[in-house]
Amino acid sequence: MEPLNIVHLPRLDTILMVEETLRKLDEPPTKNQLWRALPKAVMWQTFGVVLAYLADSNKIVFDRNGRIVWVFADNKKLKKLLKDSIPYRR
């Protein structure tokens, strides 16, 4: 990741708010749609830093149409499947 000219660093509650909003949306939003869907106002530069962090931590990807897709494996079905599965041994 190249160094950013960061004006405002996001707080943890801001990062969590963006994550929660993104997971609640029915379809992958564009950057502007996600920004407008946030329950509290966030500066555009701070929002950009949050998205860069989420992309670097492999929680989101941007598709070819510029939409943001949540790819982090944290859904309840997957957690239950992993918990109930039989360990593989060689």
DSSP string, the chain: -PPP--SSPPPHHHHHHHHHHHHHSSSPPBHHHHHHH-SS---HHHHHHHHHHHHHTTSEEE-TTSBEEE-----HHHHHHHHHSPPP--
Question: What pLDDT, on the 0 to 100 scale, is given for residue 79?
Answer: 75
Q: Which residue has the higher pLDDT, 1 or 75?
A: 75
In a domain, 90, yes or no: no
In a domain, 2, yes or no: no
Question: What pLDDT, on the 0 to 100 scale, is given for residue 57?
Answer: 94
Judge whether residue 22 has pLDDT over 90.
yes
In a domain, 36, yes or no: yes
Range of 36's domain? 12-84
In a domain, 60, yes or no: yes
In a domain, 45, yes or no: yes
Express each pLDDT in 33-86 by its tens digit.
999 999 999 999 999 999 999 999 999 999 999 999 988 877 677 778 778 888
Question: What pLDDT, on the 0 to 100 scale, is given for residue 88?
Answer: 81
Q: How many domains does the chain have?
A: 1
Say which CATH number the domain at 58 has: 1.10.10.10
